[in-house]
């Protein structure tokens, strides 16, 4: 009976070790792969994470697309203010973490300020086109008025 008990304990120990090895090998230990698309955003000083995440995806071998777990961990602007290093983080279901950084061009001000400036430039261009058309119309009207005056003067000069 002592011999059988020893064999049983040895078999249970071997099964436990094999189970632990299997779980260790089968366990997902890799974090997601974070990739960037070709469309690189510009950092405007404090844009929404949504803007900074517009060109980033995260894929995990086991879980598939985990882009919904992406977030901006940090943003560090260079001393000269022309570049910003943005660090992104993604997680998978097993809490494996991946962290990747990307350097973006940096502009002072905000996107709203930049968009407002573009809108103002477009509005000014529209007004310039309208002013140009108005000037052309005034020139045409002036030419017609001059022709009418010339005709009236000719008529008056003929009637002495």
CATH number at residue 96: 2.60.40.10
Q: In whole angstroms, give the CA distance from residue 33 to residue 35.
A: 6
| 21 and 69 share one domain | no
**Pair (49, 77) in one structural domain:** yes
Distance CA 143, CA 141 (A): 5
Give me the number of domains the chain comprises: 3
Looking at the fold, whether 51 and 73 belong to one and the same domain comes out as yes
pLDDT in tens, 45-92: 876 778 899 899 999 999 999 999 999 999 999 999 999 999 999 999
Domain of residue 11 covers 1-29
Cβ neighbours of residue 103 closer than 8 Å, sequence gap 6 or more = 83, 84, 85, 86
Assigned domain for 126 exists: yes
In a domain, 153, yes or no: no
Digit-coded pLDDT (tens) for 24-40: 655 678 899 999 988 88
> What's the mean pLDDT when you consider all of the chain?
75
For residues 99 and 93, is the Cβ–Cβ distance under 8 A?
no
Give yes or no: residues 19 and 46 share one domain: no
- 18, 49: one domain: no
pLDDT for res 151: 47
CA distance to 13, 17, 27, 70, 86, per residue, from 33 (Å): 38, 32, 17, 11, 16
Closest listed residue to residue 32, CA positions, set 78, 64, 74: 64
């Amino acid at each position: 009976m002592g011999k059988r008990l020893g064999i049983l304990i040895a078999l249970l120990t071997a099964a436990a070790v094999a189970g632990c090895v299997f779980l260790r090998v089968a366990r997902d230990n890799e974090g997601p792969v974070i990739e960037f698309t070709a469309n690189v955003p510009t950092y405007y000083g404090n844009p929404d994470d949504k803007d900074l995440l517009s060109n980033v995806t995260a894929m995990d071998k086991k879980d598939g697309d985990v882009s919904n777990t992406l977030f901006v961990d940090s943003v560090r602007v260079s001393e000269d203010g022309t570049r910003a290093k943005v660090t992104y983080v993604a997680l998978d279901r097993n809490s494996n973490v991946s962290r990747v950084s990307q350097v973006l061009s940096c502009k002072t001000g905000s996107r709203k300020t930049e968009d407002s400036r573009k809108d103002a430039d477009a509005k000014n261009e529209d007004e310039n086109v309208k002013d140009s058309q108005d000037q052309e119309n005034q020139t045409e009207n002036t030419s017609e008025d001059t022709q009418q005056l010339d005709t009236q003067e000719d008529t008056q000069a003929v009637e002495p």
